Amino acid sequence: MRILGIETSCDETGIAVYDDQQGLLSHELYSQVKLHADYGGVVPELASRDHVRKIVPLIQKALADAGCESSSIDAIAYTQGPGLVGALLVGASVGRALGFAWNVPCIGVHHMEGHLLAPMLEDNPPPFPFVALLVSGGHSMLVNVQGIGQYEVLGESIDDAAGEAFDKTAKLLGLDYPGGPLLAKLADKGTSGRFTFPRPMTDRPGLDFSFSGLKTFAANTIRSNDDSEQTKADIACAFQEAVVDTLVIKCRRALEQTGLKRLVIAGGVSANRALRERLEQVMKKLGGEVYYPRLEFCTDNGAMIAYAGMQRFKAGQVTPSDERVKPRWSLDSLPAV
């Protein structure tokens, strides 16, 4: 069976074709980074319009690269939520229209389930059960994963997500958008120990995250120091160390709480080299394993939506044609497969 995956939750248009026997046949990705750079962040209306312009050509290219015709597609998976409502509507509308025209069922996919299952696209996929750390621009959460659709959210962000804090702090440092990756590069040039940032919500029990206070601490530190490149690098280093330490502490707690020895990290921030290195060190000491997707599948992409959609399609789960997109959607409300 073959499925077409469509991802349009925010500022990336991702299209992929996935075969349940041959694996990923093709994937296309268009990023709107240049479009939003002048504004320092995603402008929802511009994002929606750009999805409209790019989605059909990308679908045509993905089909061509996969060497298949529309007649060989058995189902269409699209991101139903969470995300920007206008952007979601573009993917859902096109997916639904193609499903009607090709006479195939459609599956609305949860965006974060897509990220959670992205490591399954690798040659060494993680076996269930495991703890998943999902960290992106819009979400930070820890999930006890017993199987597909068997999710228990152990903790999540109560304000700014980790990726959002990275981008906002980068902007305060005068870095271009998107700032997270640029801040990580700048941090490599910093001197560890010159500044000490707090590790938010690690001095109390629980697995929830809060990064808005850390962003404010960074803003105050930037204002009270010189604006030399070395000082900026030292602040970036201290900020990144604080975020990484916080995430690592929470992951250890989640593993201890669940008794599990496998950890999956996914989402845009999972591409952060410092975070990967620290978690690998921790899991080695604990005698466990850590898994993550290849870098190109850390950010939003159609491949993860196609894979997640295939699993639900094979289980007989399809989405009714009158079901709306879901800008807000709880991960642990999904049915099991």
Residues annotated in the binding site for substrate, as ranges?
134-138, 167, 180, 272
Distance between CA atoms of 49 and 52, rounded to whole angstroms?
A: 5
Known binding-site positions: 111, 115, 134-138, 167, 180, 272, 300
* Selection from 187, 191, 200, 198 nearest residue 272 by Cα: 187
Known binding-site positions for Fe cation: 111, 115, 300
Q: What is the DSSP string of 89-158?
A: HHHHHHHHHHHHHHT--EEEEEHHHHHHHGGGGSSSPPPSSEEEEEE-SS-EEEEEEEETTEEEEEEEBS
Q: What is the DSSP string of 146-189?
A: EETTEEEEEEEBSSS-HHHHHHHHHHHTTPPSSHHHHHHHHHTT
Which residues partner with 262 through β-bridges? 289
Radius of gyration of the chain (CA): 20
Q: What is the DSSP string of 219-276?
A: HHHHHTS---HHHHHHHHHHHHHHHHHHHHHHHHHHHHHHT--EEEEESGGGG-HHHH
